[in-house]
A and B are shown apart, each in its own frame.
Chain A
Amino acid sequence: MQPNYFDPFVLPFTLSMFALLTFLVFKYGSWIYRFGASDRKKVFKGFFSRNSWLAMKEIFMEGLLHRKIFKTNRRLGYMHMSLAFGWFLLIVVGAIEAHTFAKGSSPFYFPIFFRFFVPGTHESFFSDGFTQLMDLLLLFVLSGLFLAVLKRFKSVWVGQTKTSRKKPIDRVVLTSLWLIFPLRLLAESFTSGIHHSGGFLTGSLGTFFGVFLPINQLAYPAWWAYSLALGFFFIGLPFTRYMHIPTEMVLIFFRNWGIKLGVDNPVLMEVEINSCPKCGICIDTCQLSSMAGIHNTQSVYFIQKLRYHEDYNQVAESCLMCGRCEAVCPVAIDLNSIRLMHRADVSATREENFGFIPVQTRTADVIYFAGCMTHLTPTIKNSMVKILNASGDKYWFFDKEQGACCGRPLKLAGQLEAARELVERNRQMMMESGARMLVASCPICYKTFAEDYHLGMEVLHHSQYLERLMANKQISVEKLEVSAVYHDPCELGRGSGIYESPRAVVQNVAKLKSSVYQKENALCCGGSIAHLTLPLEKKKQIARETLRLLTVEHPQVIATGCPLCKKSFTGESGTKIMDIAELVAKALVAKPVREAAKQQKEPVYL
């Protein structure tokens, strides 16, 4: 006989689940519909490809195990893992258990309320094993919940000094989420108590409650409450940060199918915004928060403003774009790009252009581009000129006199139209020189040359160029008697992934000291031009604190590869700040000028 697997209390869960699924199908469907034709094609092509398997693996590693959070913070990682992976296992094991023991066909909510419908399953060792396992999993989830509650009251206990502020609706849904598992525990315990069944947790608790509580009367309301908590959570989910749970999975699929964020693809941005779990990991890592006392512009708040269509202009402008949050974001949201896309482009309607910039052409093998900032740090410029002269390369100092800007500062201010024009202008001149290589001293310029110029020639930051000159024996150096710590500039390090070349250069000319704050974990000097509004005093505050953290090993020199970093640090530092080019120029061993240099038709610029 088919047993009755229905009771009215399953309705809140069942109906809300249907509502949620319907909503998600429409939402995700509309995203795919609004994708451009090429992206839509990628979705259909990708669906049956190997990439879907890769996506599933990623979902398992990140969405369930939370590997990335584990890397930055173990306690927080455990909290997220026990909630996500624990819940996932509860569902999977619960479903297997239910299907093993269901008599006849069972409705889809059956596993969720299994213990209600099949209260006593002490029939075999096998079923008892399931019960114990389910209890263990519930305990696993509850341990994570315990940490989550703890975090709400005192975030430092889970290793976060600052946690994100919540909206009222977030709180309601958060409460219902928190209640789901304790209520499940109570409902299962009461039922187990009545039937003298259950595992080590629910069974013992049931017996315990039975001593002093009327569990016979309480069991049924408890199941109602459990179902209601689930119902509230699913109904509230689309309106809160918990939307990230399903959306993150979709995002991972989209990414694995090759869909990329871009100015022309605002749809993926919407997916990313909805994937933000508001975990707040980006808050602690943000130097504006930890060093300058600014607590309202971090990525989590910015994304929140976008999601709820609040006024975001000021927050969009207030970011160093150092990329520290991006580096630790567990969902790998393109936080910098999204922010950039929300800076107003008032250049789109301008009438004037950059036609006043003189057009110059010259033939050369190597183009050297110092950059605007480098002109305010002439030691770097002079060092590079000295090295270029010694290299024997036939070079053209592109912006020696009245050079134009590279265009990246415009881009960083959201002025994409104007940036495009400037890029095109410079590009023309560079292409006509017939050079095989472009060397830039400023990482800000370097990044835009490498990414936006499409020059068809090699683009190097001077650290890479110097490394190559030394490897090719185009220049020879003598190691200096100094110790140096290397400070990764944001645009060069996290921005362009160049970590090793500058270190190799420093190692060749000085004793390289390491720092906790290096490579992906490097700090921003505070001087970033990406932040449009940060007052000078705050910049200095960040510079001072960064310097303090960089010099714990007492290096004699702080070496860097960016004129702006040098400028931000100078005056705040007790330790000498030098660009790697200065170190190399100092270590340079004079040798006769090469034949190539003698034959150079263009003058060698001194």
Chain B
Amino acid sequence: MTMKTIAIIGAGPAGMEASGSLARLGYHVVLIEKEATVGGHLKNLFQLFPDRRPGKEILTHLVQTIKHPGIQIKVNSEVSEVQKLDNSFALKINEETMNADAVLVTTGFDLYDATEKEEYGYGIYPNVITSADLEQMFHNGKVVTEEGKTPKRVAFIHCVGSRDEKAGNNYCSKVCCVTAVKQAIEIKELLPETEVFCYYMDIRMFGPYYEELYREAQEKWGVMFIRGKLSEASQNMDGSILMKAEDTLAGKPLRMNTDLMVLMAGMVPSASSKKVAQQFKMEEGQNRFFKSADNHYRYNESQQMGVFIAGACVAPMNITDTIANARAAAVKIDEYLKN
């Protein structure tokens, strides 16, 4: 019997984990990544919630996983053409053509483009940043304002581009609440004198130990939570940001100045997902993420025979779920190829 080949598109946590599982099951895996390095968004994460484990640790583990003779890694590569054959797909990658018996799409997510919410001032006022920008600051070990000063106050804005019909995203991105709480604690650790506020609509602590992290933020670190959505922000003369929201629990409009305003930009289906969807004629769900063949039993199968999906290209997902989801997909692919 000849060895069967699986093409995996996207070498983020989902793609990497699935590659390892499938290779260990005895398949030949071609892992295709458009960027120069593997790891996807995980590369940008300084620490993971809820246990504050360095993102690098998981990345190292995943890199170990894909060091397997059965895995061929193609970085700086993109699928340019797809042809459906009887029981397989012919893929054109970097002018080479390969044959894949099954395809796993792990194209992940893009961050919501926060400049689209113009009233929040991202891209206009330098002291309005996104959670991804802040993560980068943590990497650099220094959180400062545009003017180079230590912020006396930092405000996190939940649900930017998520649960927002105006942004076209009605879904919840799931991870932003707990990320905000994690980042709030990180700020307090780094800058104990800094006041930290979280502006939320609902706090959604869906995972194990998330609620505990929320409690820790209140109890141990004195992070303050204000229930209200930011309506608009403007810049003061000194570069600080004036925020307008309603303190809905007080029932009054609230104004607050902050030195740094962090927008918790949500997840949107990635540009690569869109491209792949066209190439493989895959269906999108109402939320524009990939549509599963069945939401319970065939979660990792797309509507297209032989094309599987895993990770944040299916729905917003944290790292833990992404890894578990990738392994589930591997099992499904194994079953598919054995029949």
Binding site for B on A (CB under 8 A): 375-379, 382, 536, 540, 566-567, 570-572, 606
B interface residue numbers (CB < 8 A to A): 116, 118-119, 121, 124, 165-168, 232, 234, 237
Chain A's nearest CB lies how many Å from the CB of B152?
22
Smallest CB separation, B122 vs chain A (Å): 11
> Across the interface, which residues of B come within 8 angstroms of A382, CB to CB?
124
Instruction: Determine if B232 and A570 form an interchain contact, defined as CB atoms under 8 angstroms apart.
Output: no
* Among candidates A379, A536, A567, residue contacting B165 with C-beta atoms closer than 8 Å: A536
**CB-CB < 8 A to A566: which residues of B?**
118
Across the interface, which residues of B come within 8 angstroms of A379, CB to CB? 118, 124
With A378-B234, A571-B116 as contacts: A540 and B168 at CB distance below 8 Å: yes
A437 to B19, CA, bound (A): 68
Q: Within the assembled complex, what's the spacing in Å between the Cα atoms of A567 and B119?
A: 10
Q: Is the CB of B118 within 8 A of A376?
A: yes
Question: What 15 new A-B contacts, CB under 8 Å, besides A536-B166, A567-B118?
Answer: A375-B119, A376-B232, A377-B118, A378-B119, A378-B124, A379-B118, A382-B124, A540-B168, A566-B118, A570-B116, A571-B116, A571-B167, A571-B168, A572-B168, A606-B237
A-B contact pairs, 12 of them (CB 8 A): A375-B232, A377-B119, A378-B121, A378-B232, A382-B124, A536-B166, A540-B168, A566-B118, A567-B118, A571-B167, A571-B168, A606-B237
Whether B118 pairs with A570 at a CB distance below 8 angstroms is yes
Bound CA span A378–B121, Å? 7
Complex: A536 Cα to B165 Cα, angstroms: 8
A571, B234: Cβ atoms closer than 8 Å: no
CA distance A379 to B118 in the complex (A): 8
What are the residues of chain A within 8 A of B166 when measuring CB–CB?
536, 571
Beta-carbon contact of A378 and B237 below 8 Å: no
Question: Which residues from chain B contact A567 at a C-beta distance below 8 Å?
Answer: 118
Among residues of B, the one whose C-beta sits closest to the C-beta of A570 is: B116
CB distance from B271 to the nearest CB of A (A): 11
B259–chain A nearest beta-carbon distance, Å:
18
- Chain B contacts for A376, CB-based, 8 A: 118-119, 232
Complex Cα spacing A376 to B244, Å: 12
- The answer for the CA separation of A375 and B233 in the assembled complex, in Å, is 9
List the A side residues contacting B121 at CB < 8 Å.
378
Residues of B within 8 A of A377 (CB): 118-119
Tell me the complex Cα distance, A570–B115, Å. 10
Specify the main secondary structure of chain A where it touches its partner.
Answer: helix
Establish whether residues A378 and B165, one from each chain, have CB atoms under 8 Å apart when the complex forms.
no
Residues of the A chain whose Cβ atoms lie less than 8 Å from the Cβ of B168? 540, 571-572
Instruction: Name the residue of chain B whose CB is nearest to the CB of A605.
Output: B237
- Distance between B128 CB and nearest chain A CB, rounded to angstroms: 11
Q: How far is the CA of A566 from the CA of B237 in the complex (A)?
A: 26
CA distance A376 to B230 in the complex (A): 12
> Which residues from A are CB-within-8-Å of B234?
378
The smallest beta-carbon distance between A104 and chain B, in angstroms, is 80
Q: How many angstroms from the CA of A540 to the CA of B234 in the assembled complex? A: 27
Residues of A with C-beta under 8 A to B237: 606
State how many angstroms separate the Cβ of B162 from the closest Cβ of chain A. Answer: 14
- In the bound complex, CA of A540 to CA of B166 (Å): 9
| Residues of chain A contacted by B119 (CB below 8 angstroms) | 375-378
Please, how many angstroms separate the alpha-carbon atoms of A119 and B234 in the complex? 87
Q: Which residues of A contact B124 (CB under 8 A)?
A: 378-379, 382
B165: chain A residues at CB < 8 Å are 536
A555 to B236, CA, bound (A): 35
Q: Which residues of B contact A536 (CB under 8 A)?
A: 165-166
Instruction: For residue A162, give the distance in angstroms from its CB to the closest CB of chain B.
Output: 29
Instruction: Output the least CB separation between B157 and chain A (Å).
Output: 16
Q: Closest residue of chain B to A381, judged by CB?
A: B234
Bound: A379/B117 CA distance, A: 11
Q: Which residue of A lies closest to B113 (CB)?
A: A571
- Assembled-state Cα–Cα distance A200/B167 (Å): 69
Question: Which chain B positions have C-beta within 8 A of A606?
Answer: 237
- Bound Cα distance from A540 to B164, whole angstroms: 14
Across the interface, name the chain B residue whose C-beta is closest to A571.
Answer: B116
Smallest CB gap from A377: residue in B: B118
* A contact residues around B167 at 8 Å (CB): 571
Residues of B within 8 A of A572 (CB): 168
6 closest Cβ pairs, A-B complex: A376-B119, A571-B116, A377-B118, A570-B116, A379-B124, A536-B165
Cα(A570)–Cα(B119), bound, Å: 12
Which residues of chain A are within 8 angstroms of B116 by Cβ–Cβ distance?
Answer: 570-571
Q: Quick one: closest B residue to A540, CB to CB?
A: B168
Query: CB-CB < 8 A to A571: which residues of B?
Result: 116, 166-168
A401, chain B: closest CB distance, angstroms: 10
Cβ distance A59 to chain B, nearest Cβ, rounded Å:
50
Report how far A606 CA is from B232 CA in the complex, Å.
Answer: 18
Q: How far is the CA of A566 from the CA of B119 in the complex (A)?
A: 12
Expressed in whole angstroms, the Cα–Cα distance for A571 and B164 within the complex equals: 12
A379 to B115 CA separation, bound complex (whole angstroms): 11
Bound-complex Cα distance A536 to B118 (A): 18
In the docked arrangement, what's the CA distance between A382 and B234, Å?
Answer: 10
Q: What is the bound-complex CA distance between A567 and B166, given in angstroms?
A: 10
Complex CA–CA separation, A84 to B305 (angstroms): 64
A570 to B165, CA, bound (A): 13
CA A378 to CA B167, docked complex, whole Å: 17
Q: Which residue of B lies closest to A606 (CB)?
A: B237
Shortest CB distance A560–B (Å): 14
Return the chain B residue nearest A380 by Cβ: B118
| Bound complex: CA A376 to CA B234 (Å) | 10
With the chains together, A321 CA to B121 CA distance in Å?
31
Residue of A nearest to B120 (CB): A378
A571–B166 CA distance with the chains assembled, in angstroms: 8
Residues of B within 8 A of A375 (CB): 119, 232
Taking the nearest CB of chain A, how far is it from the CB of B136, in angstroms?
Answer: 24
In the bound complex, CA of A572 to CA of B237 (Å): 33
CA distance A382 to B118 in the complex (A): 12
**From residue A544, how far is it (CB to closest CB) to chain B in Å?**
10
Chain B residue nearest to A563 in the complex (CB):
B118
CB-defined contacts of A570 to chain B, threshold 8 Å: 116, 118
A571 to B232: give the CA distance in the assembly, Å: 17
- Nearest residue, chain B, Cβ from A537: B165
Give Cα A360 to B300, complex, Å.
Answer: 63
Q: How far is the CA of A378 from the CA of B120 in the complex (A)?
A: 9
> How many angstroms from the CA of A567 to the CA of B116 in the assembled complex?
9
Question: How far does the alpha carbon of A377 sit from the alpha carbon of B119 in the complex, in Å?
Answer: 6
CB distance from B171 to the nearest CB of A (A): 16
* Identity of the chain A residue whose Cβ is nearest the Cβ of B121 in the assembled complex: A378
Nearest CB of chain A from residue B177's CB, rounded to whole Å:
23
CA distance A382 to B124 in the complex (A): 9
Expressed in whole angstroms, the minimum distance between the Cβ of A438 and any Cβ of chain B is 23
Query: Which residue of B is nearest A572, CB measured?
Result: B168
Which residue of chain A is the closest to B233 with respect to CB atoms?
A378
Q: Which residue of B lies closest to A566 (CB)?
A: B118
Distance, CA A379 to CA B232, complexed state (A): 12
Shortest Cβ distance from B234 into A: residue = A378
Residue among A378, A536, A540, A570 with the highest chain B CB neighbour number at 10 A:
A378
A375 to B121, CA, bound (A): 11
Q: How far is the CA of A571 from the CA of B118 in the complex (A)?
A: 10
* Residues of B contacting A378 in the complex (Cβ-Cβ under 8 angstroms): 118-119, 121, 124, 232, 234
Bound: A376/B166 CA distance, A:
13
Q: How far is the CB of B88 from chain A (nearest CB, A)?
A: 34
Q: In angstroms, how far is the closest chain B Cβ from the Cβ of A123?
A: 80
A566 to B124, CA, bound (A): 16
Q: Which of B118, B167, B234, B237 has the most CB of A within 10 A?
A: B118
Q: How far is the CA of A375 from the CA of B120 in the complex (A)?
A: 11
Determine how close the nearest CB of chain B comes to the CB of A332; give it in whole angstroms. 37
Chain A, Cβ-Cβ closest to B231: A376
A383 to chain B, nearest CB (A): 10
**With a CB–CB cut-off of 8 A, which chain A residues contact B232?**
375-376, 378
In the complex, what residue of chain B is closest to A376 when comparing beta carbons? Answer: B119
